[in-house]
Amino acid sequence: MASSWTLSSLPPEIIEEILYRAPPESLLRSKPTCKQWHALITSRRFIYEHLRRSPQRFIRTDETVVQIMDPVTRRRSDSPLPKELQRPYDVNVMIHCDGLMLCMRGHFQYRKTNLALWNPVLRELRWIKPSKCFTPSDYYGIGYDINKSRYDYKILRFYDRRYDHYMRHDDYYDEDEDEDEDEAEVEIYECKTRSWRTLGDAKVDCWDVDITCKGVSVMGNMYWFAQKYWEAEKKHRSYILGFDFSAETFKDVCFAPPSRGDNYLACFDGDRLSLLQQDQETTSPVEVWVSSKLAGDGDVLFSKYFSVSRPDLPALLFHTDMAHPVYCVGKHKRVMAWCEGDVYDGDDKIPPTCVIFYEIDEGGVRRQLETERHYGSGYSGTFLCGYVYVPSLVPLPV
């Protein structure tokens, strides 16, 4: 008579290897199975090794729904967006680090801004209280000190007042909510102590961070596409601005390829940056650049990964009212992008807005998949909060 077989009868190392290959949503359902599994799945060693092995996903939020797509299989799952992130104040910025999403919720006109940390897998959300207030002029980042516990996450806040004068003449602007002139330029929030502190030595330089670039977190540090005037060369140049969470200082990482109108920065292979560039007027070419490794003794340099020149290339950013594309660079020199745009397919006075997945390689558009279609003038694009994301079991540190 054949003996019965169960997963628990396997050696522990085999069970652990199987669990590493399971998606985090399945692991959540497995925690109550037995005490041993619960102890393993909730251990930090397992959580971060599982995170290291997990593939990238695309994430975007709509009015009431959070959508997660596998860019390789194009499978998509929808789940309710936490009520705290729904209207009247939409999420308009998200920054990803280790499966945690730093979300800025607010509206440019109303000057009402809130900051939250959210794990979509665990469905946990915590609000971050400001030292004084958050504003739409702020830039944020999330990371950690590589010399300490990875779980001791930090949140960076620095402000950019270039657009304040627009709000000062806005009907919704409230003088009583204006900030003091001596407000701190740079602040760090320690998730471990739940407190803000001013960084007096980390000054906001005369840089110009690309307003469409909300930053990308790679290996515990933050990076932005920016421009500034270089005195030695007597001209403005594009470059990558970084913030080192270990030293708690800004740094000029490297020069970037010259701007081509729209520049999208992302992580590549976990330890490098990718830069996708496209001129929305002509749409061709689409150029993809990849940096050398960010951690190391040598200088960081960008090299062209591939370029696509075809007359039928789509505009990944259809116009400025549309949200910016979520993209990642895959193997075999291809880019996968999830973006939205108007589709003119008849006599519609108001064309429908479509959310479309594209797979583009050196030969052009290889795959095109429409995932949503919205009719009427009431739809407002919410893709500003779209991001590349790795689902994880990392609990909220606040």
Residue pLDDT, tens place only, 40-85: 999 999 999 999 999 999 998 877 888 999 999 999 999 999 988 8
pLDDT score recorded for residue 346 = 64
Residue pLDDT, tens place only, 251-284: 999 999 987 778 889 999 999 999 998 887 777 7
Detail the DSSP E strand segments found in 186-271: 186-190, 195-198, 208-209, 216-218, 221-230, 235-244, 249-255, 262-268
Residue pLDDT, tens place only, 201-224: 777 777 788 766 778 999 999 999
Confidence of residue 168 (pLDDT cuts 50, 70, 90): very low
pLDDT score recorded for residue 302 = 96
Confidence of residue 172 (pLDDT cuts 50, 70, 90): very low
The mean predicted confidence, pLDDT, of the chain is 83
116 CB contacts (<8 Å, ≥6 apart)? Answer: 84, 85, 102, 103, 105, 125, 126, 127, 128
Beta bridge partner(s), residue 240: 225, 254
